[in-house]
Amino acid sequence: MRTTFLRRAGIAALLVLAGAAAFGATPARAASSPVGFVILPFENTSEAAALDWLQNGLAFHTGEHLKACGAAVVEEEDRAVFLEGNGIPSGASLTLASALELGRKMRARSTGLRPDRLVLGRFSVQEGDVTVQIRVIDLEQERARPWQQRQGRLIDLLAVHAGLMEGLGHDAGVRGCGGEETDPSPPILAFETYTRAMAESEPKKRLSLLKRALQEFPGYPQASYQASVLLARAERWDEAAQTLQSMTKEPIPYSTEAHLLAASVALQRQDAATAASQARLALQRTPSARGHALLGRAQAAQGDLPGARKELERAQAIDPSETEVEDLKRILDGGTPSGGRTQ
């Protein structure tokens, strides 16, 4: 955005997954199928109520790291509904037997992501020092890895957490999962506000918290992206564009989605050139029907109908049911697009 996001491509994310290095490959898994995770809220063993926000905050951030490695993660709302339905409070201490039983139930359900791995976490804070522990359970083989632990100052929480991620990736059978953090990483206050926002289901409240996080850490990439999603849904196109442009770094693990969103917003603002460049950046990372359709719409707006038809063919080959594909077909048939989607 200021210097990197809108004007040049970032490094393409390495989203290559492998069969578990620690657990062994699963014969039934397709080579391209991502490893699925459910990450339970972390247990607060220090019993400091003021830090309860870290229960969901650390679980959410762990999910962001795993998504950056190409893993699939049960979304927070889905997980919360499932835990509530099984009478398990957020941040509850679970025995290994209880965790395995919970995993069996998740894998047996007929809808939603059925995870291959379950991640347990816990943390404690004493005199300004934080200890974070993580454990991975292979739900298919019903085997648990040992607890991993990192310690540091609470003010350096994100660096402490990042130090666990490479080991977590190894134990979980996900390659290319390093412990990188946004540089500079957000201060803990902004991180708290951001994760509180992502735990908020009401859009207006979530947007308000995201805007506060951006005040506490201007250019916060992930908060900028999430706020832009909400602004686009509300059809506040100029605000969405400005918020996307405020990013100082790529919003890992949402880089591809952010470029697609930027392309969609640009089309709404009748900025075909920006839409085309953003769609191309998204396609450099991950080929998708939506990316090709957005590029085709931008080309059609620029008068390049042959190019738009080629992009339509490419999009249909990937997913003919994509909304943006239908919009591009209407345009090429002389109709008006429906507006597409914003996420």
Domain boundaries, the chain: 36-172, 188-332
pLDDT at 7 over 60: no
Q: How confident is the model at residue 13 (pLDDT cuts 50, 70, 90)?
A: very low
Average pLDDT over residues 258-267: 98
Of the two residues 80 and 118, the one the predictor is more confident about is: 118
Question: How high is the pLDDT of residue 9?
Answer: 38
Question: How high is the pLDDT of residue 98?
Answer: 87
* CATH homologous superfamily of 36-172: ABC-type transport auxiliary lipoprotein component (3.40.50.10610)
Question: How high is the pLDDT of residue 182?
Answer: 61
Question: How high is the pLDDT of residue 176?
Answer: 63
Most confident of 64-73, 257-266, 320-329: 257-266
Q: How confident is the model at residue 165 (pLDDT cuts 50, 70, 90)?
A: confident
Tell me the per-residue pLDDT of 83-92, one tens digit each, with 9 for 90 and over: 888 888 877 7
Q: Average pLDDT of the chain?
A: 86
Residue 153 β-bridge partners = 129
pLDDT at 104 over 60: yes
Tell me the per-residue pLDDT of 51-62, one tens digit each, with 9 for 90 and over: 999 999 999 999
Q: Report yes or no: 159 and 186 within 8 Å, Cβ to Cβ.
A: no
Question: How high is the pLDDT of residue 25?
Answer: 39
pTM reported for the whole predicted model: 0.83
**Which range (13-22, 144-153, 268-277) has the least confidence?**
13-22
243 to 135, 174, 228: CA distances (angstroms): 37, 33, 6
pLDDT at 209 over 70: yes
188-332: CATH architecture = Alpha Horseshoe (1.25)
